[in-house]
Amino acid sequence: MITDFVSITNVQRQPNAVFASGKPIQIVLSNNEMKGMIISTGMAKQLLESDVFDELIDEIEIHLLHDKETLDLIKRHRAGKTKPIALEDFYKKYGI
């Protein structure tokens, strides 16, 4: 997929033209620095209907975490090194 670039000025001055361009993804630049991304309606629908969007959000949330213990637990769980238990069992075990 070829990614197109659009200036932040064009987004501000000609929003209808930018959003109606038909391009699936546009990177918004200001002074040659990335400021954001515009995703077309069609692309957004595809992402929302697929698991890709949920996986992306999960990855972003993980990288935003700064708690080392939580990050380690997530990594261990993904590697299959944890033994999850049912919530009801957790309640019983800890008297909640």
pLDDT of residue 70: 80
- CA–CA separation, 85 vs 73, rounded Å? 14
CA dihedral sign, ordered 41, 43, 44, 50: positive
Per-residue pLDDT tens digits for 6-31: 999 999 999 999 999 889 999 999 99
Give me the residue label for tokens 């935003």: 64
pLDDT of residue 35: 94
**What are the chain's domains?**
4-46 (3.40.1620), 51-94 (no CATH)
Ranges of the chain whose pLDDT falls below 50: none
pLDDT of residue 1: 55
User: Is pTM, for the whole model, over 0.95?
Assistant: no
pLDDT of residue 2: 59
